[in-house]
Amino acid sequence: MVTISINNETRQFPEPVSLAELVREYREHNPELAFAIAVNGEFVPRASYAQVQLQHGDTLDIVNPVGGG
Amino acid sequence: MDPLKLYGENFSSRLLLGTALYPSPQAMLESIEASRCEIVTLGLRRQNPKDRDGAQIWEAIKGTGCRLLPNTAGCKTVKEAVNLAEMSREIFNTPWIKLEVVGDDYNLQPDPFGLVEAAQELVKRGFKVLPYCTDDLVLCQKLLSVGCEVLMPWGSPIGTGQGLLNKYNLRTLRERLPNIPLIVDAGIGAPSQACEAMEMGFDAVLLNTAVAKAQQPALMAQAFGNAIDAGRAAYSAGLMQKRQTASPSTPVIGQPFWHQQSRQQ
């Protein structure tokens, strides 16, 4: 089992999963949300999603715009 | 009114407004309009997708046409700040970043060491960095030396509404850095405080809570806009020097009765 933390919630996958696949799923559920992603605290540009294979123990941060001061 | 120039861009308003803490997205929009601001700050957060507040606010902000100034609020390390800045640049399609590196949870005081390091890295990566900093002259000089072209010293800690706590330091910054755009950021609670900052020669004021938490945010936003205009006009006009003793403003020559009183003595 591959365990990945997504915004502090643990998810399990039977095998390593690509970031592009997770993004596709995220977009399906949140079609109108602008977002950006970091893996293990490092920003991953959109153009690189296809090249990132997530491993057991990876942490994913998906952020969206909010009001700010 | 002379324009505010930041990173080569001119703005007619000298108020930068935050977009957090409003009772509703509509109240935020009305405040932006009433303030006449042209730059708004905003942030990025992990959100529960079911929570639509952030999405609503972002949709509302997009329609204002204001320049976006994303922040790195809440970041405590250089790595966090740099990565959040990169995420902001991708989402908001702007190299402008309000750089925050928090050094203390209690008063949200900027970490001066992390701030300089993060600013240096972000400038190298092509960002236009507007650092939220303390009013320390040497820190400000370091930030300039690593490529920041605008500085945003605090008036007082974020959200306190205490106004300009260290006027000596703020005046020193203004005097020693006469050609650098200086924006008082944070701690402004009343229009009079914003006006005072402008009278001291600061180029602009950035605030959020004082408007968003007012009973009537749009009315308060208008009050701040007017106060900032007044302060800038006063600074441009040149304030009088304070004096220890009274000096009559009405002419003394031709004063009636004066000779009569003199004769009686």
Going from N- to C-terminal start, the domains of chain B cover: 4-237
Give all domains of chain A, ordered by start, each with its CATH number.
2-63 (3.10.20.30)
Establish if A12 touches chain B: CB-CB under 8 angstroms: no
pLDDT computed for residue B47 by the predictor: 82
Give B92's strand partners: none
The conformation of residue B110, written as its DSSP 8-state character, comes to: B
pLDDT computed for residue B255 by the predictor: 85
The conformation of residue B146, written as its DSSP 8-state character, comes to: T
Burial class (CB in 10 A: 0-12, 13-18, 19+), B123: middle
- In chain A, what residues touch B39 (CB-CB under 8 Å)? none
Establish if A31 touches chain B: CB-CB under 8 angstroms: no
- In chain B, what residues touch A47 (CB-CB under 8 Å)? none
- Whole-prediction pTM: 0.93
Q: How far is B210 from chain A (nearest CA, A)?
A: 11
Q: Do the Cβ atoms of B190 and B6 come closer than 8 Å?
A: no
DSSP state string for B94-107: --EEEE--B--TTT
CB B57 to CB A64 under 8 A? no
Give the rounded percent of residues in chain B with a pLDDT score beyond 70.
Answer: 96
CA dihedral B21, B26, B32, B36 (to 10 degrees): -150
Element housing B236 (H / E): helix B217-237
- In chain A, what residues touch B28 (CB-CB under 8 Å)? 67
Helix-helix angle B53-62:B25-35, to 10 degrees: 30
pLDDT digits (tens, 9 = 90+) for B211-224: 999 999 999 999 99
Q: Which of B5, B62, B79, B98 is catalytic?
A: B98
Give B128's strand partners: B96
Paired sense of beta strands A36-39 and A59-67, if any: antiparallel
- Is B262 a residue whose pLDDT tops 70? no
Establish if A47 touches chain B: CB-CB under 8 angstroms: no
User: Is B98 annotated in the active site?
Assistant: yes
Checking ipTM against 0.90, whether it exceeds it is yes
Q: Which B residues in the span 119-148 are in contact with A, Cβ-Cβ below 8 Å?
A: none
Least confident of A5-19, B38-52, B76-90, B187-201: B38-52
* CATH 3.20.20.70 applies to domain B4-237: yes
CA separation for the pair B98, B85 (Å, rounded): 9
What is the b/e burial string over B197-235, where b = at least 16 CB atoms within 10 angstroms of the residue's CB?
A: bbbbbbbbbbbbbbbbebeebbebbbbbbbbbbbbbeeb
pLDDT digits (tens, 9 = 90+) for A13-45: 999 999 999 999 989 988 888 999 999 999 999
- Is B152 a residue whose pLDDT tops 70? yes
Q: How far is B18 from chain A (nearest CA, A)?
A: 4
Contacts of B45 (CB under 8 A, 6+ apart): A63, A64, A66, B54
CB B44 to CB A64 under 8 A? yes
pLDDT digits (tens, 9 = 90+) for B220-247: 999 999 999 999 999 999 999 999 999 9
Furthest-apart CA atoms within chain A: distance in Å: 42
Which amino acid is present at A7? N
User: In which residue are the tokens 């919630």 written?
Assistant: A9
